[in-house]
Amino acid sequence: MVDVKLKGKQVSFVPVNKKIVGFIAFILKSFSFTLSILLLVNSIVLVSPIYAEVYVKDAKARKLALLEEETAKSKATEADKDQRETQITKSIDRNRSRYFVGPSNLSLKSGESYFSQGVMSTYGRGLSDDLSLHLRFTSLVFFAYPISVASLQYSFDYATDWRGGVGIAMMPWDGLITYVYKSVTYGDEAAHVTLSIGQPLNSEDGTIQFTRFLVSSFSGNIKLSKSIHFITENWLLYMLNSQSLSVELMHSLGFRFQGEQFAFDLGAFNTKDSGRILDGPWFEFTWNFE
């Protein structure tokens, strides 16, 4: 025991070992630290499920929002695609494959077809995107004798804005006349011209021989407005092995008034027959099938 005098009073203290005091202080600090760790862990354990639930809900909400956004974009893309396809379909000139009589190389697509009635009766159908069939019959109301023509034409891309074509047309006439021709078209549906040339073959009494003339045509189609086109079609027949220049011409021009599926042609033609000049009207109504 140690006696110490404080403020005039005698106070006795029991001396304490410093090591014991240090150990007790260490124990208290360790307990305080451990308690803090336990409280922190307990807080994490209590809060984690709540935070995890909130996080999961937020993740699901974000994923759902992203999915809805992607779905909306996909629907918008499909709608735009359908709209573009509809506009393209509506913008197609369904009468692009023909002038008044002769064909262009802007051919019918597979499954497209039409029927025309007027000075001539005509049926055309696309057998594929490049191969088309045409059947033509004259009306006895306008012609003294019937004429029927069946033709096949194959068209192909030649260069930018250029399409070539080869065709064969057959017509009963003192046997069978077979007209094999080549043609080329320049332009698009808004404006295009076509040049063709060929020499017919005549089959009679089991013999086949070339006729004595060449046949050529020059035709054009110009879009004046959404529903009106200007059309001209000109045919030239040149006699071969003739002592003098012998050329027969037929000119025609007119207008085509058309909607999405129908068309009405109104024009006039001029030609020569045995030295006589003949003029006449041209009119035809056409219905285009899908």
Half-sphere exposure of 49 (CA within 13 A, CB side): 3
Nearest to 124 by CA among 143, 146, 103, 154: 103
Alpha helices, DSSP H only, in the chain?
A: 18-91
Between residues 209 and 110, the one the model is more confident about:
110
219: its two tokens: 């035709």
User: Chain centroid to CA 96: how far?
Assistant: 16
Q: What is the C-alpha to C-alpha distance for residues 87 and 78, in angstroms, rounded to an integer? A: 14
Query: Is the predicted pLDDT of residue 131 greater than 50, yes or no?
Result: yes
Q: Please list the residues that pair with 267 across neighbouring strands.
A: 254, 282
pLDDT digits (tens, 9 = 90+) for 173-206: 777 888 899 999 999 999 999 999 998 888 777 7
Report whether 233 contacts 252 (CB < 8 A). Answer: yes
pLDDT category of residue 112 using cuts at 50, 70 and 90: very high
Q: What is the C-alpha to C-alpha distance for residues 113 and 124, in angstroms, rounded to an integer? A: 5
Q: What is the C-alpha to C-alpha distance for residues 137 and 126, in angstroms, rounded to an integer? A: 19
Tell me the three state secondary structure of residue 105: coil
pLDDT category of residue 114 using cuts at 50, 70 and 90: very high
Between residues 23 and 126, the one the model is more confident about:
126
What is the H or E stretch that residue 138 is in? strand 131-138
pLDDT category of residue 218 using cuts at 50, 70 and 90: very high
Nearest to 262 by CA among 223, 219, 227, 222: 227
289: its two tokens: 């099938």
Query: Is the predicted pLDDT of residue 152 greater than 90, yes or no?
Result: yes
pLDDT digits (tens, 9 = 90+) for 253-275: 999 999 888 999 999 988 876 66
Query: Is the predicted pLDDT of residue 90 greater than 90, yes or no?
Result: no
pLDDT category of residue 104 using cuts at 50, 70 and 90: very high
